[in-house]
Structure 1
Amino acid sequence: MDKPTYDKNAVNSSLTYYSTVQAGTIGGPDEKDIEKHQPPLVAFLKVHPKPADEIDELTGKVQTLETSKSQLEEKIKQTTASLELCQNQETVAKQNKELEELTQQLETKEEEHGIKLQELEKQLELLKQEKKQLSDEIEQQNAAAKALNQKHGVLEKENAGLKQMLGEAQKKKEEIQTLEQQIARQAKEHEESQKQLQEQVS
């Protein structure tokens, strides 16, 4: 939209009069002066605002921007906190899930270990029974070996007695053979003597 054009002299005259009245150098304007000077002055001020108005406007804008900035910062802060809370909640949920999985794994391991422990206890009991059976068998074998040793000792004594008897029998046999030989020799000598006697008698 194009800016309106004004009479430069009229605007300057109005500004001069307005400044003079504002400074209090002349009496206040009457209604005709106000009607005469106000329209072009107001129009000019709309196009060229006073420095104070401009400063006020800029100050308002700055305050508005600062308020908006503060609101945005607060919103960002709240959003960040909410995001951190969500992230923390997600982290906690993830950790809880991992903890639950680890707990389940631990329970499974404990159950497996419990089963293995029961199996090992059964195997240990069987080994104890087998050990007892072996001990009983060894004891029985030791008793049998002791009995055999005792019997062997008796047999050895009997064998020694038999050997002694056999030796004595052999000795008697030799004595008998010696006697038989003596008797045979004496019988032969007696026979020869008888034969000689008969020859002498004849």
Structure 2
Amino acid sequence: FTALDIKCLENGGFLFFLFPYTEGSTKGYQLMKTDADLKPLEYLLPYSDNLDANSLLMTRSFNAGPSGSVVSANMYIDDYVTVLDGKGTIMNQFEFNFGKYRIPDDIRASISLHAEEFIHFRSICAPVLIQDSWVCGQLFNKGVYSFFLADRKERILYIPEETPELISLVECSSGKMVLLLHAAPGNPYASALGLAEAASDYLIIIEEAISDK
């Protein structure tokens, strides 16, 4: 089998994010749980039939999960994030409801044929991190990819107002947030952090950036 991401489990086993076009027993599933010797124990989350073939090949990731869990898993242009415990058992699944801006199933199933319509909708992208009181991640927002932060208690969504394409979330795990600041003249996010203009991108690691209190 071919895996796109891997997570070590508490019992010594592994959780794999599978390549969408594998054959055999793994075909059609997003996740596979194995023992320490890589013997398959369980296949989880069948791939949806209404996802574009090209989008299936794009980003998907494991990230830290809410309290009592270990990992959350999501992929590109799919509005669901699945939360699993340390043994790889599914605990919960969250749906991001974008209302009238949700990508219709017919467009989601064939994005390349509906490119002009596609840019008028919203969807989450990998990575997305869900905690008890907040959520952060990448958002496809009407043709623009943007970092977002949501306060679950206050029900407030924060999105960069200007040049959102200049900042992106790479990963959230182990109490750290990894951001990528793209090289561009006058990048406001680099300036806010006191960083000089550079010819290459900045990779910023922020520890304990947001508390869950």
TM class by shorter chain equals under 0.3
Higher relative helix content: 1
Higher relative strand content: 2
TM-score by length of 2: 0.14
